[in-house]
């Protein structure tokens, strides 16, 4: 169980657990006065909870195919102060039916499209893009985004390049890009990228280093201050 300033995340049944990079991702997600949002592959519900805290009027749909993760997300939503604004849909996003478009769509999707798999099927579903390819994710996101909506994605660098190619095929360009390192001497291990149909020719890019001198960096602390109890 993880306790944050305004909510708690239980993860007993989830294939994917709360981790530092997903918390950072949740802290980075932004949109211009969003009315409704969609979380594709919500897992424990962490990202939905973080975004719901940031935008007090936001109505949020969260989709999750894994039954154990959906059970955790349902519990976490129900026991949060945002429960009236969070709606869980236990299904594959390919089967998710809605008449709405969304001002904000975000996803921490399965990472690996062509990598060796674990013998554990639930971990494969969480880590490998066999149930949801980057092409499908980009297409579904583009279809469900409002005209000026924003899509946020977290992926490792190599996989992010593949997703960017798919996003561009649906006229989604980069509006912001963050590279993430554990510390100064380590390679980039994650990227966070925002996409929109309304995008500049050259999007701003920023590097975030999580640890400096064996402590959380000042930029990480600033981003997570509204969430982490230690700040």
| Pairing of the two strands 173-181 and 205-209 | parallel
- Span 61-81, average pLDDT: 97
pLDDT at 127: 44
**What pLDDT is recorded for position 113?**
55
Whole-angstrom CA distances from 111 to 38, 69, 153, 191 are 19, 17, 11, 12
Confidence of residue 68 (pLDDT cuts 50, 70, 90): very high
pTM for the full model? Answer: 0.92
pLDDT digits (tens, 9 = 90+) for 177-231: 999 999 999 999 999 999 999 988 889 999 999 999 999 999 999 999 999 999 9
- For residue 26, pLDDT over 90 is answered with yes
For the cut 90, the answer to whether the pLDDT of residue 128 exceeds it is no
* Other residues' Cβ atoms within 10 Å of the Cβ of residue 37: 26
CATH number of 2-224: 3.40.50.150
Whether the predicted pLDDT of 126 surpasses 70: no
Q: Where are the domains of the chain?
A: 2-224
């Amino acid at each position: 169980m993880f306790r944050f300033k305004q909510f708690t995340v239980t993860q007993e049944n989830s294939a994917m657990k709360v981790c530092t990079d997903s918390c950072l991702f949740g802290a980075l997600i932004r949109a211009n006065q969003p009315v409704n949002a969609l979380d594709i592959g919500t897992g424990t519900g962490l990202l939905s909870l973080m975004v719901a805290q940031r935008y007090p009027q936001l109505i949020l749909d969260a989709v999750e195919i894994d039954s154990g993760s959906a059970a955790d997300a349902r519990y976490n939503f129900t026991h949060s102060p945002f429960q009236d604004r969070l709606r869980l849909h236990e299904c594959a996003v390919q089967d998710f039916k809605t008449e709405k478009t969304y001002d904000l769509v975000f996803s921490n999707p399965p990472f690996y499209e062509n990598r060796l798999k674990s013998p554990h099927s639930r971990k494969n579903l969480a880590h490998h893009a066999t149930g949801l390819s980057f092409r499908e994710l980009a297409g579904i996101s583009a279809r469900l985004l409002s005209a000026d909506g924003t899509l946020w994605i977290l992926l490792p660098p190599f996989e992010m390049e593949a997703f960017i190619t798919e996003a561009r095929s649906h006229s989604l360009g980069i509006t912001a890009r963050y590279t993430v390192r554990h510390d100064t001497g380590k390679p980039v291990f994650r990227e966070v990228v925002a996409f929109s149909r309304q995008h500049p020719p050259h999007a701003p890019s920023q590097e975030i280093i999580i640890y400096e001198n064996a402590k959380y960096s000042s930029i990480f602390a600033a981003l997570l201050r509204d969430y982490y109890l230690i700040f």
